[in-house]
Structure 1
């Protein structure tokens, strides 16, 4: 089942990336950002699924400390990059709907490249700081009761005070929770705008609905994982705990391309044509 899920994730994301790359009419900012979102899904899931599949076939479930820290970095940077990309996509939709006459003068090729770089580099820098701080801790244990390495599980093994690590961790969580809230607030304004101008309502429903669905999908999955990792109970059945731990590495990467592929007419028609 895990292998099938991973294959499906690769297929739907690669299919959408290739569709956008091969169709010239899709070489627009919105689709470039969507391509970036799909690439990020491949990046994040590659940090978990191959190692997990190897562990399923192996009798010993071990990973080096350096490998563990790298896995945390890749998975966490994937999660935070998702929010950055969705924030950039929200900005793009705001310009397209609220300032259509200025859209092409603002959303130039240089601006698109800058936004793509920003959405990837800032989360990586944030997570690099977190992981450097974690790597300097002395550990009193070496067993993580989770299907993959995650920062909070490593911090709980520390022999030293983790107060500073906790503060930095909460700052990063608040930063990206702020991303999600700002996107939701922006969408409230876009809904008001589309209701005020009925001729733009169709464009809003077609291009913004899949984006909003992806945001809810990613936010719910990540919030679920973060809150459970820190405050979850050991009385919860192991199978349920395992699902809660990995669902953000399965559900958003699998559903996001499908949501966009089904809702965006240009993407859907281009996919069917290429198939």
Structure 2
């Protein structure tokens, strides 16, 4: 009964409010029927997100990754001839799934644990084969199973404590860090808080870090970060690498390292 209830909730809530005005009711309902068929083929607890798409080849978009998404499921109206989904996460190769000849209007992409535990968001790209000039109607959801793991369980180095930060010495006056790896604009896009990205909102956070081994940093987010951006900066922190000496040649081991991270859409 729980599976039936959740499937009904998906169609009534996650998708019902987002159906495009241009989509006719018959196509919308056909897509919903296919989606329901897919939902009963996957073991899940919750719906993370859902949306209705009308078109053919659509622009890629970002979906937040809570760490326990097990599948993306999509249903398309009867006129669909093909469906494909590509999932990308930072540092991992693209993951793809296609509909079959037998099930042209149903697509299920199982998400392996390595992708579930990725610290980055997901970039999703749907491609719909459709003979209609204005495109076909597709409805999709992302579903999760089990409790969402912590960032540390997903691979984030243990955050430094207040005592560790206070025990560290300040940086040498006038010295600058010598970065060996910094995040690219592509990295920032993958770690950008999804809702803020969609709203075009910019923000920033400061990381307080200590050097560990191999130029890696162990950090925490300082207070005062823009809402949603502290976690984003923390998830990004494993990308950072720094030389073990500053611009004066002094060792930075045991010293406080402050890293400002600025998030700007389109940067």
Report the TM range for the smaller structure's normalisation.
under 0.3
After TM superposition, the score normalised by the length of structure 1 is 0.24
> Larger strand proportion, structure 1 or 2?
2
The structure where helix makes up a greater share of residues is: 1
Q: Structure 2 length as normaliser, TM-score?
A: 0.25
Where relative contact order (Cα < 8 A, 6+ residues apart) is larger, the structure is 1
